[in-house]
Amino acid sequence: MTFSELPFLLANFFDFLDSPEWRAWPFNSGYGEHLLPAVARLAFITIIMGAILLFLRFLFGPGGPLRDKELEQEAMEETAKERAETEKLFVQGEITEMEYKIRMNHLKD
């Protein structure tokens, strides 16, 4: 393929995308179709977006391989600080044993 063929290929590609089937994909105007294809398209887009979000959560979420190590250290320090504060409140009698257990369960590693 040479650069002289590129404009021709791009023109054909954009002509293909301008066809009525692809003009407003995936959100067609809905003329002449039933509810099921529209719902299927929305479900498809929802699944794609959900997969992207889960992938990013895996990569950059807690314990993720691309997450910054300073963020992990900061989160651990914050959790230790909140545990110490909860322990102090329980010893002083400002919270009940049930509240103490609930807070400590939320502060698990």
For every one of its 109 residues, what pLDDT tens digit does the chain have, with 9 covering 90 and above?
Answer: 677 788 888 887 777 666 666 555 555 555 556 677 777 888 999 999 999 999 999 999 888 888 888 888 888 899 999 999 999 999 998 988 999 999 889 888 5
Q: So what's the pLDDT on residue 20?
A: 60
pTM to 2 decimals?
Answer: 0.48
- The packing angle between helices 69-92 and 97-106, to 10°, is 180
Cβ neighbours of 90 (radius 10 Å)? 17
Q: So what's the pLDDT on residue 39?
A: 79
What is the C-alpha to C-alpha distance for residues 21 and 86, in angstroms, rounded to an integer?
Answer: 60
Start-end of H helices in the chain: 6-17, 35-60, 69-92, 97-106
Q: So what's the pLDDT on residue 4?
A: 79
Which residues are CB-contacts of 58 (< 8 A; sequence separation ≥ 6)? 64
Residue written as token pair 């329980």: 90
